[in-house]
């Protein structure tokens, strides 16, 4: 048996030298690899790529083109935009309406214009640091990206113009800030401040468009109701209509709405968060900064505390319970107050005069005429029964989600300032804008808008796994 094994091992080198092809599947001639056999996997003599290999060049198919544009526009970051307008509408005491929808459309267009312009301006830098981006990789031409930026800017301004001249003025300032940042300010010390101003202007755009559109429709309805013959001109005030002075999540009466400048505190909070995210993003390609993520983490914590603390303080002139006005000037009675279980005793007014009505003299009160469906802006207590109780809980939950989304990635980037962890911190800061917007809307008295904004979180998270927001 030993002799047989030795003889077999001695014959193995000769057999390998006589084999027509090597172990790698290619013919071996004179010790050097030769041409591939004509029956290779490619089917064309080995000159065509294998079916499972994708070329990096453009034009491979419609799917590759669509993916290239989604990467250029960073569509996973789009979900951080609608909350600006909703938070702005809540800050001025209005429910979302036509003006809010126009502001959201304009914001989306201007946001995507900034994304395309950003890659166009950074095409030479990305060719070195991020060659996989759509323009350096050749999947999208530089001229196409610049043309898309211009077209989207024009579309955004056109939508803002439909919301009124004040909204168009704010949108023009926003567009100018976006272009100035991408073309020049990005690489200067004013870069983070420019981005913060752009995000603040976006929230003010929603506030201005909502307030302008609602005021215009209210003025039109008032003029129509006060002119012309018939009972419309002299229609009495609807029974039970109380001008709401507290926050709610439905349309408020025209007199309770605030100026668009009332949204400035919320805009500053959102701008401060954006400033921090932009400061961190300046190191996402090379990394190496520990102090910046730590400072931004401290700022994030301070912003969350400010949102909660502001809600604890009661606004001047507002009743303790939102949505309920005073019974009379100088009166301290509230029907829902625990120390006022019953109404104050009615003083005796003497004998009834001829033609006057007294409940004890008229057991059956006169029927109240049907006044039809409620008009926009009228208050109904049943619509706000649960809002005061839910608002603090929702505000705490949204603020906690904001800290949970932005905080841990910033801490990791501070402990290990590598480019991947820094990019993750930037992505977390972008996604954290959504719960921050929800908290701002809830703080202003619109918990329904806050819930609508938070509904975008799962969509943004799932899409971020496919398309990076940075």
In the chain (470 residues long), the average pLDDT of successive 10-residue segments reads: 47 42 36 37 33 40 84 92 96 94 97 96 92 94 97 98 96 98 94 97 97 68 48 42 42 57 96 96 81 95 92 47 36 46 49 52 47 46 53 95 96 92 92 96 95 93 83
Count of beta carbons in the 10 Å neighbourhood of residue 358? 10
Enclosing H/E stretch for 146: helix 142-162
Length of the chain measured in residues: 470
Q: What is the pLDDT of residue 234?
A: 41
- CB count within 10 Å of CB 328 equals 8
pLDDT on residue 402: 97
**pTM confidence score:** 0.68
pLDDT at 463: 86
Task: Please give the pLDDT value at position 353.
Answer: 57
List pLDDT tens digits, range 267-298.
Answer: 999 999 999 999 999 888 777 779 999 999 99
Q: What is the pLDDT of residues 104-114, one digit of tens each?
A: 999 999 999 99
Q: Which contacts of 178-186 are long-range, i.e. CB under 8 A and separated by 24 or more positions?
A: 178/110, 178/113, 178/114, 178/117, 178/153, 179/114, 179/117, 179/153, 181/114, 182/114, 182/117, 182/118, 182/120, 182/121, 183/117, 183/121, 186/118, 186/121
Which distant-in-sequence residues (6+ apart) come within 8 Å of 5 by Cβ?
Answer: none
């Amino acid at each position: 048996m030993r002799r047989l094994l030795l003889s077999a091992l001695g014959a193995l080198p000769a057999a390998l030298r006589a084999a027509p092809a090597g172990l790698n599947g290619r013919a071996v001639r004179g010790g050097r690899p030769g041409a591939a056999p004509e029956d290779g996997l490619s089917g064309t003599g080995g000159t065509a790529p294998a079916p499972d290999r994708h070329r990096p060049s453009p034009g491979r198919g419609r799917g590759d083109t669509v993916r290239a544009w989604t990467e250029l526009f960073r569509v996973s970051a789009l979900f951080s935009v609608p909350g600006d307008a909703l938070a702005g509408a809540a800050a001025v005491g209005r429910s979302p309406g036509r003006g809010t929808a126009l502001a959201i459309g304009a914001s989306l267009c201007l946001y995507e214009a900034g994304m395309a312009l950003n890659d166009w301006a950074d095409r030479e830098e990305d060719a070195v640091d991020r060659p996989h981006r759509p323009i350096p990789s050749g999947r999208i031409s530089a001229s196409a990206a610049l043309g898309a930026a211009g077209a989207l800017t024009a579309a955004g301004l056109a939508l803002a113009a439909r919301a009124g001249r004040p909204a168009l003025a704010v949108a023009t300032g926003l567009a100018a800030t976006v272009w100035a940042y991408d073309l020049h300010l990005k690489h200067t010390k004013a870069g983070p401040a420019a981005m913060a101003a752009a995000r603040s202007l976006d929230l003010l755009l929603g506030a201005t468009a909502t307030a302008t559109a609602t005021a215009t429709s209210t003025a039109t309805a008032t003029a129509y109701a006060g002119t012309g013959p018939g009972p419309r001109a002299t229609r009495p005030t609807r029974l039970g209509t109380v001008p709401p002075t507290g926050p709610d999540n439905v349309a408020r009466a025209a007199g309770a709405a605030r100026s668009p400048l009332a949204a400035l505190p919320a805009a500053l909070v959102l701008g401060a968060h954006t400033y921090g995210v932009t400061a961190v993003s300046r190191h996402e390609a090379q990394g190496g900064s520990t102090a910046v993520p730590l400072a931004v983490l401290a700022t994030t914590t301070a912003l969350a505390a400010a949102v909660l603390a502001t809600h604890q303080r009661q606004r001047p002139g507002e009743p303790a319970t939102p949505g309920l006005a005073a019974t009379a000037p100088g009166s301290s009675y509230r029907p829902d107050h625990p120390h006022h279980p019953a109404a104050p005793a009615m003083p005796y007014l003497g004998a009834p005069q001829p033609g006057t009505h007294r409940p004890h003299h008229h057991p059956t009160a006169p029927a109240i005429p049907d006044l039809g469906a409620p008009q926009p802006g009228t208050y109904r207590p049943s619509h706000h029964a649960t809002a005061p109780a839910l608002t603090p809980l929702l505000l705490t939950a949204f603020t906690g989600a904001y800290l949970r989304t932005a905080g841990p990635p910033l801490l990791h980037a501070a402990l290990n300032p590598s480019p991947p962890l820094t990019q993750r911190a930037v992505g977390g800061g972008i996604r954290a804008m959504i719960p921050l917007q929800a908290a701002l809307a809830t703080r202003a008295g619109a918990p329904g808008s806050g819930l609508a904004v938070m509904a975008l979180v799962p969509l943004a998270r799932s899409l971020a796994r496919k398309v990076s927001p940075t």
